[in-house]
Structure 1
């Protein structure tokens, strides 16, 4: 096997980091040369893979995952229009020139055979295209772009099954694309700077990728008519690097163990975490809460039956767990299912409602509002623990997720490169 050179251009999306860097680590282990252009908040995670880390210099670069370092503070948005505007201004269209500038410089230095560009870093895709470098876009979740048969993303919708729900999907998709396409003028301005022709839709840039690598199992996602560029390559089940050295000892006793994990980034989840702890206090269980780096464990009050820590390796806890209460981030969901453990989902935003509905439709857990009372959380947890059908469904789906994760399709797709003379000219 010939060693190849890869440039990953990544944005810290919290749960997106372990699977994307898991891909980088696997390439390093295969003897390839991997450089990761990323935020300072990811530096230690990148170093743990063995890849070379270089920071964003003009593009957004958060110092940590604490809320004060978050560039767009999506938890403050009160309606979808405000969220769209903030995402375009602070994450997608607004910083696209800066992402393009830093990526172009990195390409000129590293001279990669392939760029792997975060879905958030649209400007990085522009730079790769302008420099003549093929690029892939990883989706460390379910497939997010609009395709026929897939319900629109972000709302936790089930697939359409009749005229009314098909109309629902067409209307929601049209309204959503109209908001995204407000970023087209800014995107085309960046493309013009690099000598590229304009695009019509905002997602056209991502659709110029060589491949879309969906880091989950097709059986977890909903079926749809996928473009030829889409590859389901299985989930990456790695723990975050920042949990690797964290201690963990099973809490004493033999009552059911319930793991609680509500996001590694700040989503204004302290109140929800406290209600979950209050719910567990009402049940004959052992609770184990990992707050992640964005929440201080000291902000929470817990009884003796509930342990609260900042970090612990979930891969060591899940074999002992009987249920998981989570915000339904994709990484936590697939690792939980791979262990055959049922879920109580409290989605907070982003892609979490979509993950939660895929769990509940398969019978592997229950979904509640993030504002659910402690009483309702306790009742749902008791139901999931008391009915073996939830664990059975989780085990069935988990067996598929484990198989796909171990199949090696992710590395095989990344290694499938037709190496050509790379152009390093351009704007």
Structure 2
């Protein structure tokens, strides 16, 4: 059996794909450790994983530390790279699996000749433009982290997105396995709108959520709102027919949902589509993948996109269309069928295993530094 070291960061939706792969590897008899931000230790150890405490990495907590400049520093953090090498010196691993945003860790692994895979948990289209092609990519290059060389040097780039909405670019070491999206059979019931924005600490979410709640007035549907850890449910003014909770699990709400409102995070959007639910995307960050995700869903006919500064009327018109026009449900069901036909966790775990057992793994061998 093999040993794996996952390098992650406290970003919310980036963590479930990593933990799902890790659980599958453990189920197959392998050992898995996680290196991440200190704010992640409690959740990861509670999930049964060994956590390597960082000593050199920048401190970061997604519930309170979000600023564009802060994010630039986190993704380029050489301290996480030092912690990676220290973790391997203390206990070697057969393969390191690095989150696709952690370029400081990737650079350290590449320069040290460590065999590593990159876990890509967002649209490849957004990754190429928003990360590598935008201010983030420029910042990484100015810090001499050579992001493209880091990606080219990976033994495998595991892309966990759906080809129907995010066609993979040509790359010899890239394997697209589909999205992580658990689903349950549909449940019949009254029309229901599920509203949930990010667990990440984006500014202004309370105001956006309030306008969304107000927009549902007069619509023929019950409304379930999940505020997440950064918005106090008491700060929202609800009305009869609207339930506001701190947390609602997708498994409890999406099987009976008629429409989902999300910020366009990859995980929540795919979860909605996996349940054949049309999606209203309200992007919260133009530098993340939210806008690209929203456009792709709109192009597929499976949802609508309204800017975060949209009015109550804009939100109401979009939600009304999702509830009343059968074409949105039909398009969402087509994508849902495609998602359910994938086995992202099983195929992804097999690809990672193949890199450690001498079998012919997808992609090409890691380049030497």
Q: TM-score scaled to structure 1, two decimals?
A: 0.77
Counterpart residue number, 2:193: 258
3-state SS of paired residue (1:404): coil
Which of residues 150, 154, 173 in structure 2 aligns to 1:209?
A: 154
* Change in 2 beyond 3 A, CA 1:50/1:211: same
Offset, 1:182: 4.1
Counterpart residue number, 2:362: none
Matched, 1:371 2:309: yes
Aligned equivalents of 2:43, 2:135: Cα separation in 1: 36
1:268-327 C-alpha deviation (Å, 9 max, x unpaired):
211110000001123221110111112211221111211111112112211110000111
Counterpart residue number, 2:211: 275
Q: How many residues align?
A: 352
Counterpart residue number, 2:8: 10
Aligned equivalents of 1:257, 1:146: Cα separation in 2: 33
Offset, 1:125: 1.4
1:1-51 C-alpha deviation (Å, 9 max, x unpaired):
xx1100001111111111121111111111110000012332243224432
Aligned equivalents of 2:237, 2:268: Cα separation in 1: 23
Contact persistence 2:177–2:344 (CA under 8 A): no
Cα RMSD of the aligned pairs, angstroms, is 2.4
Aligned equivalents of 1:47, 1:26: Cα separation in 2: 16
Counterpart residue number, 1:73: 67
3-state SS of paired residue (2:297): helix
Which of residues 251, 269, 272 in structure 2 aligns to 1:315?
A: 251
Counterpart residue number, 2:361: none
Which of residues 100, 109, 112 in structure 2 aligns to 1:119?
A: 100
3-state SS of paired residue (1:366): strand
Instruction: Map residues 139-218 of structure 1 onto 2, 5 A cutoff.
Output: 139-144=120-125, 152-153=129-130, 176=133, 180-187=137-144, 201-218=146-163
3-state SS of paired residue (2:291): helix
1:88-107 C-alpha deviation (Å, 9 max, x unpaired):
3x2233x22x1111111011
Contact persistence 1:65–1:293 (CA under 8 A): no
Counterpart residue number, 2:320: 382
Aligned equivalents of 1:407, 1:15: Cα separation in 2: 15
3-state SS of paired residue (2:343): helix
* Change in 2 beyond 3 A, CA 1:130/1:107: farther
Aligned equivalents of 2:41, 2:309: Cα separation in 1: 34
Instruction: Map residues 63-102 of structure 1 onto 2, 5 A cutoff.
Output: 64-67=61-64, 70=65, 72-74=66-68, 87-88=71-72, 90-93=73-76, 95-96=77-78, 98-102=79-83
Offset, 1:60: 2.1
3-state SS of paired residue (2:248): coil
Offset, 1:66: 2.3
Higher mean alpha-carbon deviation, 324-333 vs 294-303, is at 294-303
1:87-141 C-alpha deviation (Å, 9 max, x unpaired):
43x2233x22x11111110111220110011122212112323443211111112
Which of residues 286, 291, 296 in structure 2 aligns to 1:358?
A: 296
List runs of 5+ in structure 2 lacking aligned partners: 359-369
1:67-102 C-alpha deviation (Å, 9 max, x unpaired):
2xx1x423xxxxxxxxxx6543x2233x22x11111
* Change in 2 beyond 3 A, CA 1:6/1:418: closer
Aligned equivalents of 2:319, 2:142: Cα separation in 1: 48
Aligned equivalents of 2:189, 2:164: Cα separation in 1: 34
Aligned equivalents of 2:136, 2:36: Cα separation in 1: 27
Aligned equivalents of 2:197, 2:127: Cα separation in 1: 27
Contact persistence 2:98–2:119 (CA under 8 A): yes
Contact persistence 2:37–2:59 (CA under 8 A): yes
Aligned equivalents of 1:30, 1:48: Cα separation in 2: 20
Instruction: Map residues 402-417 of structure 1 onto 2, 5 A cutoff.
Output: 402-405=340-343, 408-417=346-355
3-state SS of paired residue (1:61): coil
Contact persistence 1:255–1:284 (CA under 8 A): no
